Amino acid sequence: MSWQSESVEETQAIAAELAGSLRGGECVALHGDLGAGKTQFVRGLVRGLGGPDRAVSSPTFLLLNVYPGGRLTVYHLDAYRVCGPADFEAIGFPELLEQSGVVVVEWAERVRESLPSGHIAVTIEPIGDHSRRIRIERHLGVPA
């Protein structure tokens, strides 16, 4: 499915809509260049789950932010600074997938081999100063 967003608020609303379909145990793989709106998408996802969306920030330097308090806990990871799948697994990625929350991975292309085969891929592509094309694909049993 594909949407066009004209604002941060629309990007967050698209993510909140996705949140309504989540049941726990999902991995959401975010793809997009620096400044595309990946963290804003996570903010909308957390809001859609009833969590503390104001607390959402990029986990670039911490590698992992956890947002409890909503219908599902969100584990927000950033793969930008990891040196491959082994590093990513060393920070506990496989264990997070077993927590029945939602695991969101920014810069997911850097750890493609570690993503579960049934992940949800979200690609955010700037198409103007404020416009974004957002594509959401559910990968059903097919490795990324």
Of residues 60 and 112, the one with the higher pLDDT is 112
Of residues 83 and 18, the one with the higher pLDDT is 18
- Measure the CA–CA gap between 57 and 120, rounded to whole angstroms: 21
Domain count, the chain: 1
Q: How confident is the model at residue 142 (pLDDT cuts 50, 70, 90)?
A: very low
- Decide if 113 is inside a domain: yes
Whole-number pLDDT of residue 61? 63
pLDDT, tens digit, for every residue of 84-106? 778 888 888 889 999 999 999 99
Sign of the dihedral through C-alpha 14, 57, 119, 33 = positive
- Decide if 131 is inside a domain: yes
- Decide if 144 is inside a domain: no
How many C-beta atoms lie closer than 10 Å to residue 70's C-beta? 19
CATH number where 94 lies = 3.40.50.300
- Measure the CA–CA gap between 114 and 110, rounded to whole angstroms: 9
- Decide if 27 is inside a domain: yes
Contact 73, 101 (CB under 8 A): yes
- Measure the CA–CA gap between 121 and 20, rounded to whole angstroms: 16
Structural domain of 50 = 2-138
